[in-house]
Structures are given as structure tokens and as C-alpha cells.
């Protein structure tokens, strides 16, 4: 079996859904399992519904209407005949959502979040599978919650592999096109859970693992994985082959390749992962698989903007020892600052961090009691895997280099624009 994942951007409108059909025509759909995300920015729109629900805001009903209007438009663009069963099916999903909003008694934010946000995937797959049937493809819509079992850690649920494996081995029919939801699972009591934002790739990997699938393909609006972000680098080129290990390294440094969580199950069974263009589905794209680390062997660039470079030194010239470092890390963790680079010397300690939640001022107040704190805001962290002089020059040119760290294969540079 082949597992295909279509993300939100690939099904953001009627054209996108028709394009999924075209892709399937070109690459075949027998023995295929489609994992599909919510359409376009639906997950964000549902997050707004959740916020309004908890705020008891009068905007709640208009937020729900937005989501409805968006999907209804897509359904109308795809199916002219209003007698098609898709209209009733989608309406019934929205009734379930409204019923939940009217009757829920749980004050647990994460629980409520999962019960609501899941409608994005339930509705997208309903529309898609009706469309495939309408176009004459024999299709089976599967509720993923009957397959992927998890703990009850809502919004970041952990998969129960044993139960999941059992469900998948027993109940997936091959030979036809199977369609199911990414991102969702269910707990012991059959309440809906989710695997974390952007979790649909992981869903594809879970199914592939349990099915011993031939391959996973992630269909994207780009030709594959590039060695650099074309927004920041001229001459970005496509990587044909990346080993699992190299892909995990790249992801670790922040490349938006594929999440390590997605790669692990695939790597265990050596199932290849292809990243391909849904615009040109017959092009080869990138293969993440067993084999050479990188082909072509290019330097890979990862850029993280908007970083904060913090240097701590001891007030009295004493050494910064393990206890200090573990205390500092505990604080970063508590204030949700993500550490992307560390460098220490005897009396100073520098870190490059991301302060997504704007907590640095608060943290600084605590740190300043014990250390001399220097910091530089709005710096950029460049990571180059497989660097060489030319690559280094590219990132250092016309910039002030604040910190540099070099290991055998990886060079990291913190810079400030002049």
C-alpha cells in the first residue's frame, strides 16, 4: 500500500480538490490510503471558535458561520447538484459541532479544543471522499479515531502503538482508495484527541508503519525539499535524496523538512518518504530513505530570524558551573524560551533563544539577580550543514558576526544586520 498525505494548502479550495483527483489519475489510486488535513486555514479558524467559546464572546456564532461559509462555498463549487449526499453529510457535521458547543459541560480547555478542532479534518475528508465517489473512484471514508488510539493528553496525545497496530491490521481494505483524517486519534473513552499542530504527517507515518507500506508521499506546493529557503537564498536547489539520519539532523536545527517524530517510525522499517509537488506529480521530488546522506551533496542552510542572544556572566568572576547551568535551563524551560544554540566559557554562558511568548523581560528580572546579563535582540541564527568557505561567506557577508560555533559537519553563526 502507498500512503499519501495532502495538507491544508493542497485542499484549500475546489480547484485544489480537483487537483487531488488529477494527481490520483496520474499516479494511480489503487491500494492507496489518503491522509488529509483540514482545508486551508481551517484549523486556525476553529481555534478562533474555541477562543470565542471560552471567552463567552458574542463573536462565537459569527466565527462558526465563517467556517461554515468557507466549506459551503467549496461544496457548491464542486457539486452543482444540490441533491448530492455531500450537502447532508457536511450539514450533519456542522450540527454535531453546534450540538457540542451548546451542550458541553467540560471546563477543560485542551479537551474542548480537540473535540472542536477535529471537525476541520472530519469535514475535509467528507467533502473529498464524496468528490472522489462523484468522479467515479471507488472510495472508502474511514474515521481515523477507530484506528489511532492514544492517551488522554489532549492536544499532544501519545500514540498507543499496540492498540493502533491491531486496529489497522484488522480493518483496512486494500484495492480501493481509502480516505482518512490526519492529526486525530481517540482515547480510551473514545473522546477525540489530536497529535499536535501539523500532526498529519505523523499520521501518515503511523499508518505506513502499521501497514508495512511501500512508501509515504507528502504532496506539497513546492518541488520537494530544497537545500535553502528560496526566500532568503538565490540558487536554492532541490535535494534528490536525503538519508533518515541527515533529515533528522536538518529537522533538529530547525529546517522545516519533516518532523523527527514523523521520520522515526519510517526509519525503523526503512519505508521511503517522498516529498513531491502536487502541481507536477510526475516529477521525482525528494526521497528521504536509506542510502546516501545527501544527493547532490550541497551545503544546507537553515535560517532562524528574530532570535535573542543572551550572555550571562558571573558577577564576581567565579566560574559558571553545572548547578548554574541546570538552573538557567530550568528557567528557560519555565518561561518557554526555546534554546537553539549554547556556548560557554569559564565565566560566561551564551545562548541563542526564541522568545515566542514574549517572556524575556520577566525572565531577565530573575536572571539579573544572580548574573550579569547582556542581550542582543532581533539577531539571526544561520545553521549550515556540510559547510565550506563559500557557504560560510554567504551568511557572513555584510553582517556583524556575534557568535560562531563550528563542529565537523555543522557551522552555526549568529548575526546582526548592519
Point out which span in 106-114, 196-204, 269-277, 402-410 binds ligand ASP (CB under 6 A).
Answer: 196-204
Sign of CA dihedral 328, 333, 337, 342: positive
Q: Which of 26, 69, 175, 197 binds ligand ASP (CB under 6 A)?
A: 197
Q: Select the span of 5-13, 20-28, 139-147, 316-324 touching Mg ion (CB under 5 A).
A: 5-13
Closer residue to Mg ion, CB minimum distance, 8 or 185? 8
Nearer CB in complex with Mg ion: 121/187: 121
Q: One symbol per residue from 67 to 106: x for binding ligand ASP (CB under 6 A), - otherwise; what is it?
A: ----------------------------------------
Cβ-closest position to Mg ion: 8
Cβ nearer to Mg ion, comparing 8 with 241: 8
Binds 183: which of ligand ASP, Mg ion, none (CB < 5-8 Å by kind): ligand ASP
Residue in 2, 3, 4, 8 binding Mg ion, rule: CB under 5 A: 8
Instruction: In angstroms, give the least distance from the CB of 245 to ligand ASP.
Output: 24
43 binds ligand ASP (CB under 6 A): yes
- Report d(CA 258, CA 378) in Å as an integer: 26
Secondary structure in 3-state letters for the chain: CEEEEECHHHHCCHHHHHHHHHHHHHHCCCCEEEEECCCCCHHHHHHHHHHHHHCCCCCHHHHHHHHHHHHHHHHHHHCCCCCCHHHHHHHHHHHHHHHHHHHCCCCCHHHHHHHHHCHHHHHHHHHHHHHHHHCCCCEEECCHHHCCEECCCCCCCCECHHHHHHHHHHHCCCCCEEEEECCEEECCCCCEEECCCCCHHHHHHHHHHHHCCCEEEEEECCCCCECCCCCCCCCCCECCEECHHHHHHHHHCCCCCCCHHHHHHHHHHCCCEEEEECCCCCCCCEEECCCCCEECCCCEEEEEEEEEEEEEEECCCCCCCHHHHHHHHHHHHHCCCEEEEEEECCCEEEEEEECCCCCHHHHHHHHCCCEEEEEEEEEEEEEEECCCHHHHHHHHCCEEEEEEEECCCEEEEEEEEC
Among Mg ion, ligand ASP, none, the one that 272 touches (CB under a kind-dependent 5 to 8 A) is none
How many residues interact with ligand ASP (rule CB under 6 A)?
12
Binding residue for ligand ASP, selected from 38, 288, 308, 381, defined by CB under 6 A? 38
Name residues contacting ligand ASP, limited to 151-180 (CB under 6 A): none
CB of residue 200 to Mg ion, shortest distance in Å: 7
Binding-site member from 126, 129, 181, 200 for ligand ASP (CB under 6 A): 200
Within 28-67, the residues that bind Mg ion by CB under 5 A are 37
State the Cα–Cα distance between residues 372 and 364, nearest whole angstrom: 10
Residue with smaller CB distance to Mg ion, 8 or 285: 8
Q: Is 182 in the site for ligand ASP (CB under 6 A)?
A: yes
Binding-site string for ligand ASP from residue 108 to residue 127, where x marks contact by CB under 6 A and - marks none: ------------x-------
Q: Does 262 bind ligand ASP (CB under 6 A)?
A: no
What is the x/- site pattern for ligand ASP, positions 1-30, by CB under 6 A?
------xx----------------------
CA gap 157, 195 in Å, rounded: 5
Contacts with Mg ion, residue ranges (CB under 5 A): 8, 37
Contacts with ligand ASP, residue ranges (CB under 6 A): 7-8, 37-38, 43, 120, 182-183, 197-200
Amino acid at each position: 500500500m502507498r500512503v499519501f498525505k495532502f495538507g491544508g494548502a493542497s485542499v484549500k479550495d475546489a480547484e485544489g480538490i480537483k487537483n487531488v483527483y488529477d494527481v490520483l489519475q496520474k499516479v494511480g489510486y489503487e491500494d492507496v490510503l489518503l491522509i488529509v488535513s483540514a482545508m486551508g486555514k481551517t484549523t486556525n479558524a476553529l481555534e478562533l471558535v474555541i477562543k470565542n467559546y471560552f471567552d463567552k464572546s458574542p463573536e462565537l456564532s459569527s466565527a462558526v458561520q465563517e467556517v461554515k461559509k468557507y466549506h459551503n462555498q467549496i461544496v457548491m463549487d464542486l457539486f452543482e447538484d444540490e441533491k448530492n449526499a455531500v450537502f447532508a453529510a457536511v450539514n450533519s457535521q456542522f450540527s454535531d459541532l453546534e450540538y457540542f458547543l451548546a451542550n458541553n459541560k467540560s471546563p477543560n480547555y485542551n479537551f474542548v479544543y480537540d473535540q472542536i478542532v477535529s471537525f476541520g479534518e472530519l469535514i475535509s475528508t467528507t467533502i473529498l471522499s464524496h468528490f472522489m465517489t462523484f468522479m467515479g473512484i471507488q472510495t472508502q471514508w474511514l474515521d481515523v479515531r477507530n484506528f489511532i488510539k492514544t492517551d488522554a493528553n489532549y492536544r499532544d496525545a501519545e500514540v498507543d502503538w499496540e492498540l493502533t497496530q491491531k486496529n489497522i491490521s484488522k480493518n483496512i481494505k486494500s484495492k480501493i482508495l481509502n480516505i482518512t483524517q490526519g492529526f486525530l486519534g481517540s482515547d480510551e473513552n473514545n473522546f477525540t484527541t489530536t497529535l499536535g499542530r501539523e500532526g498529519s504527517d505523523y499520521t501518515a507515518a503511523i499508518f505506513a508503519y502499521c501497514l508495512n507500506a511501500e512508501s509515504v508521499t507528502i504532496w506539497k506546493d513546492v518541488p520537494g525539499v530544497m537545500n535553502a529557503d528560496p526566500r532568503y537564498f538565490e540558487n536554492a536547489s532541490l535535494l534528490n535524496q536525503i538519508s533518515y539520519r541527515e533529515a533528522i539532523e536538518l529537522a533538529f536545527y530547525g529546517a522545516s523538512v519533516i518532523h523527527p517524530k514523523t521520520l522515526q517510525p519510517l526509519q525503523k522499517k526503512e519505508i521511503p518518504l517522498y516529498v513531491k509537488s502536487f502541481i507536477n506529480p510526475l516529477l521525482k521530488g525528494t526521497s528521504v530513505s536509506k542510502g546516501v546522506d545527501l544527493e547532490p551533496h550541497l551545503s544546507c542552510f537553515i535560517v532562524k530570524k528574530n532570535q535573542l542572544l543572551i550572555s550571562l556572566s558571573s558577577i564576581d568572576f567565579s566560574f559558571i558551573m553545572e548547578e548554574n547551568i541546570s538552573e538557567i535551563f530550568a528557567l528557560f524551560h519555565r518561561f518557554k524560551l526555546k534554546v537553539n544554540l549554547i556556548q560557554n566559557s569559564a565565566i560566561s554562558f551564551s545562548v541563542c533563544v526564541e522568545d515566542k511568548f514574549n517572556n524575556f523581560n520577566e525572565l531577565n528580572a530573575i536572571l539579573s539577580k544572580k548574573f550579569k546579563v547582556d542581550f542582543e535582540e532581533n539577531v539571526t541564527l544561520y545553521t549550515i550543514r556540510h559547510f565550506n568557505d563559500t557557504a560560510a561567506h554567504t551568511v557572513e557577508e555584510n553582517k556583524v558576526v556575534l557568535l560562531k560555533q563550528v563542529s565537523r559537519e555543522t557551522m552555526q553563526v549568529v548575526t546582526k544586520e548592519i
